[in-house]
Structure 1
Amino acid sequence: MIKKSVSKKKLVRTVIQILISCVALSIVLIKTDTEKLLEIIGTANPLYLMLAFVVFNISKILNALRLNRFFRAIGLHLRELYNLQLYYLGMFYNMFLPGGIGGDGYKIYILQKNHSIKMVNVFNAVLWDRVAGVFALAFLTAVFLIPSGFAKLYTEYVPATYAVIALSYPLSWLLTRLLYKQFNSIFLITAGESILIQAAQALSAWLILLALSVPSNHIDYLAIFLVSTVAVVLPITVGGAGAREITFFYLLQPLGLDTNSGVALSLIFFAIGALSALIGMFLQGRAGEKHEKGKKNYEARV
């Protein structure tokens, strides 16, 4: 009975996520010149797109390395390749199985099951890895907003933006000291890795701008890209579909910039993320019997 109730809630959540994604994408596509949008995407430089794909996956490899650092801090020592396989599997589940087998939940279950470590410790490592990423995202977003057109358009918010820059990492350090002391020793290196990860994502977006031959205002597009990434972090859409596009559409308008280029950037970035997540499907066959047995047990439980 409980299992049916949980499954029903997950189904409802999945349906809501799909609806929100569809509504957001519909709003954008209805208000966008789709013919021009398709033309912009169709004439994109494939070399820059390939570089964007490579840089995006470098950011994911860095993310997997950072996560493994958190695992080692709780006494869980994984081979880097094995950890990378799990990471890409998690990406695949998050992207293509919304509301079902969550990528983070799957990793937590597999590691607890196969390595005899307390689930709460694995959960803490995965959670704080995510939190580290959020603080880096907030910091870098604020850094990009300062030189962007938004700083001139909304001068009253500039002091708050500087406050985010100044307080992001002191607050992150304080929370680590108070809540997760086991991660104190790796705070500095994971903080640096987090900045590199978000910077690599921004670099991937910039390469897409070059592919689309966007002539100017790259800082503005990248600032909106980082703001849209904050929107994508919220689990309200399927793999972030719709959240990034609608953010670009409405934030580019006050700056008087081409919304078609922004929406094209967001759609291509989503496609790169989806293609990268598919790597997890191929790695699943190489991850060995532990993954398969763990997956079946996890599916049975959720």
Structure 2
Amino acid sequence: MHGYGPSEKIFGNAPLHSIQFAENMSSAKSKAVLVIRLAVSLGLIGFLFLEVDWAGLISRFQSVDLYWLGLMLIIPHLNILLSAWKWQRLLKALNISADLGRLVAVYFIGTFFSNFLPSMIGGDIVRVLQLSRNRSETSGVVAATFAERFLGLAALVTFVSLILLHGRVTAIFPVIPRLVAMAVVIYALSLVLVFQEKYLVLLKPFRRLRTVDNLLSWVSSAQRKLFEYKKKKGPVIGAYCMSIGFYLLSMCTVYTAGRSLGIHLDAATVLVVVPLVLFVGLLPISIGGLGLNEGSYVFFLTLFGLSSVEAFSIALLLRARILFTGILGGLIFLLHKERATSPAARPNILLLGDYSGNNAGHNALLSALIDELQSAGPCRLLVPSIKPGLLRRLLGPKENVEVIGIAPWHMSLKFLGLPIWRALKKTHCILLTDNLFYDTGLLNLFKNNLLALLVITAYARGHAKPLVYYNSAVGPVQTALGRWCIRRLAERMNLITLRDEQSKAFLDQIAPGVKSIVTADSAFRVSVDGLTEKTLNHRSLWHRFSSGSPLLGVNLSHHLLQPIHGGVEKALSKSEYIKGVAETFRGLSSGEFGDLVFFVTHDKDRAVTKAVARELGTADQITIVNYEEFLARDIAGLASRLSCFIGTRYHELVMCAASGVPLIGINCGEKIAPLLNSLELPHLVMDRDDFVGIDAGDRLARLIDSAISARDVLKSNVRRMREEAAKGVGLLMERGYVPAKAS
């Protein structure tokens, strides 16, 4: 082997000092290019700011439409999801496995580096470094990343070529056909260079530079991986189609940016301008396209009839969106950690339900579910929530419980998104809880989960993961599509346990032949033992509850003010109904049943509760317990000290029943009457229309007396309901869906 002296390098026989000089020159050149690009970006953006009408610009941003703004923020993140999926398919074609959630996180990180660091540290390089796990896979990752970008460029060239069909464009820009032809030629030559290894010899004279030599070694290795795509045309064609989808979504982003500012862009303008701006953005003369993209939008959009203020406001809003996504990428970069791939010691159980933390009754239900499942055996519970921080705080310390964020900024539309998909992959069993089988707002993914559940359950069935509809209800169902969805979901369940006979009758009607078992709601098993120190230290509140004086608890739902089958709304306005409710409470004999305590157990109930309290005008005698201030078990513990409870929400009534508190249900929906029927107390239901009007106070007083007299009946039936609810977890253990404690 040839030996090299101290003055020579292993990359050739050139003297060390000459190569160092060349590398220093290259470094100096890179710094000079960076300074030039920075100057171009600052110059362009500065020029635009100097020329703009500031008054008009500020006026545009003061009247932003939040609906369209929200869409504008969501669509680009769908684009990231699509790009990550495209990248995953290209990696899979090279036999490189990668979790989609991880690829999305890496894509966000790459976006951060592309936008906030000098361009010499490209986002693609960061993506390759983040994803490469060992040296043997690095070349494949490079090849897949290059192919992804190259196919994206092909899709962009396709769109720019189609612009030639727009006669107005070629009339305004006669140079465009030449530019497109040049782009096509460059693209074709690039294909030849990429897939012909012999052309790399043209760079051989530059191999004395260490960076060039290392680059050629990487390119040669990645090129061999790229050759594999010649035999796998399916993933390549699919990735190209996804790139077309990427640019269509990008056009939608620009359109929604305009609509959010009150600017209506026609389809032709968007289809022409967006590809041109992105095409111009390929020029390496600025940092992250700053200034260049904004200038391009102003230039092209004004030619299509927009004012400079309108065009620049759209460009600025799009830049703000890019910065927002980049910041998200930076946060992910700081928080992102590789997780161990070894199987967990405890099996994961996914609990699906409306657990936002905004409903004290749902929090009590979830707390009871956690306690009963973990008392059955060792398991780890995964709980999706649109407000994970609030839910964690209101649940209190819970071991082996992971709250998963499913808000749009978590890349999720409630149950549809990356967080649920990742949870599904690692879960052992899926429990559908908290009455998910109803069709109100069926097509609204933010309000109804049936369509999302069809996707989730299809995946679960395909991967042999048990599905259980657990201790829940069915209904209301008012549409044919809703009935079909529920029937399909019921047929996919491995086990169905329902909380009341009405739900069973309803399900038997919708899905005949599907077996279900009536148990009871798990919230009957909520713990009411003890209060936390925070509650005991809440002096004004604890003084009221520990004084020994009788207290009358009241929970007023906002549903009281909504029209139900042509009810009281036809006769009374909302303000009149609120006054009527206040008069009903005034109609109770003063002090006979104790001071009023209002329980605000849902975010939407706060307004109606405060309105009634103001009408009563006795703030010194009224206490308001806000669900946001106390843990679920504290709410139940405080409720247990009431002399009677008047409620309008199902799980709040269950929580009080579990505490042994006499209760009255105000029927403003379809859930309250079945609950009181199951407790053998059907006479303790008061219709919403009867809650106001002449003698409403007297009627309520008689019901309170009846409820107090029926305390023993209530307690007896609650014990029965606890036992029935326990059958549900017993069935789970019997079938092996949840682990049983070792004997």
TM-score by length of 1: 0.80
1:103-122 equivalent positions in 2, closer than 5 A: 103-112=123-132, 114-117=133-136, 119-122=138-141
Asked whether the 8 Å contact 1:74–1:121 carries over to 2, the reply is yes
1:125 aligns with 2:171: no
Structure 2 counterpart of 1:225: 274
Q: Separation in 2 of the partners of 1:129 and 1:140?
A: 17
- CA shift at 1:42, angstroms? 2.8
Match for residue 313 of structure 2 among 259, 264, 268: 264
Q: Separation in 2 of the partners of 1:71 and 1:53?
A: 28
- CA shift at 1:159, angstroms? 9.9
Structure 1 counterpart of 2:546: none
- CA shift at 1:189, angstroms? 0.5
Structure 1 counterpart of 2:51: 31
Asked whether the 8 Å contact 2:251–2:270 carries over to 1, the reply is no
- CA shift at 1:221, angstroms? 4.4
Q: Are the structure 2 counterparts of residues 7 and 99 from structure 1 closer, same or farther at C-alpha, using a change threshold of 3 Å?
A: farther
- CA shift at 1:157, angstroms? 5.6
Structure 2 counterpart of 1:299: none
Structure 1 counterpart of 2:155: 136
Cα root mean square deviation, aligned: 3.4
Q: Separation in 2 of the partners of 1:148 and 1:215?
A: 22
Asked whether the 8 Å contact 2:114–2:122 carries over to 1, the reply is yes
Q: Are the structure 2 counterparts of residues 193 and 176 from structure 1 closer, same or farther at C-alpha, using a change threshold of 3 Å?
A: farther
- CA shift at 1:89, angstroms? 0.6
Structure 2 counterpart of 1:293: none
Structure 1 counterpart of 2:105: 85
- 1:280 is paired with a residue whose SS is helix
Could you say which structure has the greater relative contact order, defined with CA pairs below 8 angstroms and 6 or more residues apart?
Answer: 1
Structure 1 counterpart of 2:721: none
Q: Separation in 2 of the partners of 1:110 and 1:262?
A: 37
Q: Per-residue displacement from partner, 1:177-231 (whole Å, max 9, x unpaired)?
A: 9463322421210111110111111111111121122245452244222211122
Match for residue 240 of structure 1 among 284, 289, 301: 289
Q: Are the structure 2 counterparts of residues 222 and 43 from structure 1 closer, same or farther at C-alpha, using a change threshold of 3 Å?
A: farther
Q: Are the structure 2 counterparts of residues 41 and 138 from structure 1 closer, same or farther at C-alpha, using a change threshold of 3 Å?
A: farther
Asked whether the 8 Å contact 1:25–1:241 carries over to 2, the reply is yes
Return the structure number with greater strand share.
Answer: 2
Asked whether the 8 Å contact 1:228–1:247 carries over to 2, the reply is yes
Structure 2 counterpart of 1:50: 70
Asked whether the 8 Å contact 1:148–1:220 carries over to 2, the reply is no
Moved more, 254-263 or 85-94: 254-263
Q: Are the structure 2 counterparts of residues 29 and 207 from structure 1 closer, same or farther at C-alpha, using a change threshold of 3 Å?
A: same
- CA shift at 1:156, angstroms? 8.3
Asked whether the 8 Å contact 1:149–1:220 carries over to 2, the reply is no
Q: Per-residue displacement from partner, 1:48-85 (whole Å, max 9, x unpaired)?
A: 01101101110111111111222222332111111111
Which AA in structure 2 matches 1:181? F
Q: Separation in 1 of the partners of 2:193 and 2:242?
A: 16
Which AA in structure 1 matches 2:56? K
- 2:136 is paired with a residue whose SS is coil
Asked whether the 8 Å contact 2:255–2:265 carries over to 1, the reply is no
Structure 1 counterpart of 2:169: 150
Structure 2 counterpart of 1:182: 228
Which AA in structure 2 matches 1:283? I
Q: Per-residue displacement from partner, 1:10-69 (whole Å, max 9, x unpaired)?
A: 544433322111111122222222321232233221210110110111011111111122
Moved more, 119-128 or 201-210: 119-128
Q: Separation in 2 of the partners of 1:230 and 1:48?
A: 26
Asked whether the 8 Å contact 1:93–1:103 carries over to 2, the reply is yes
Q: Are the structure 2 counterparts of residues 284 and 218 from structure 1 closer, same or farther at C-alpha, using a change threshold of 3 Å?
A: same
Q: Are the structure 2 counterparts of residues 4 and 78 from structure 1 closer, same or farther at C-alpha, using a change threshold of 3 Å?
A: farther
Which AA in structure 1 matches 2:227? K
Q: Are the structure 2 counterparts of residues 83 and 216 from structure 1 closer, same or farther at C-alpha, using a change threshold of 3 Å?
A: closer
Structure 2 counterpart of 1:295: none
Asked whether the 8 Å contact 1:10–1:99 carries over to 2, the reply is no
Q: Separation in 1 of the partners of 2:89 and 2:134?
A: 16
Which AA in structure 2 matches 1:182? E
Structure 2 counterpart of 1:98: 118
Return the structure number with greater helix share.
Answer: 1
Q: Separation in 2 of the partners of 1:74 and 1:236?
A: 34
Q: Are the structure 2 counterparts of residues 225 and 32 from structure 1 closer, same or farther at C-alpha, using a change threshold of 3 Å?
A: farther
Q: Separation in 1 of the partners of 2:193 and 2:240?
A: 11
Which AA in structure 1 matches 2:299? Y
Asked whether the 8 Å contact 2:128–2:142 carries over to 1, the reply is yes
Q: Are the structure 2 counterparts of residues 148 and 208 from structure 1 closer, same or farther at C-alpha, using a change threshold of 3 Å?
A: farther
Moved more, 214-223 or 229-238: 214-223
Q: Separation in 1 of the partners of 2:314 and 2:121?
A: 29
Which AA in structure 2 matches 1:97? L
Which AA in structure 2 matches 1:95? N
Asked whether the 8 Å contact 2:83–2:246 carries over to 1, the reply is yes
Q: Separation in 1 of the partners of 2:114 and 2:194?
A: 30
Q: Separation in 2 of the partners of 1:205 and 1:74?
A: 35
Larger radius of gyration: 2
Q: Separation in 2 of the partners of 1:203 and 1:176?
A: 34
Which AA in structure 2 matches 1:134? L
- CA shift at 1:288, angstroms? 1.3
- 1:117 is paired with a residue whose SS is helix
Q: Per-residue displacement from partner, 1:130-152 (whole Å, max 9, x unpaired)?
A: 11111111222343563474245
Structure 2 counterpart of 1:273: 322
Q: Are the structure 2 counterparts of residues 144 and 58 from structure 1 closer, same or farther at C-alpha, using a change threshold of 3 Å?
A: farther
- 2:294 is paired with a residue whose SS is helix
Moved more, 47-56 or 134-143: 134-143
TM-score by length of 2: 0.35
Structure 1 counterpart of 2:260: 211
Structure 2 counterpart of 1:298: none
Unmatched tracts of structure 2, length 5 or more: 1-19, 197-225, 340-743
1:6-17 equivalent positions in 2, closer than 5 A: 10-17=30-37
Asked whether the 8 Å contact 2:90–2:236 carries over to 1, the reply is no
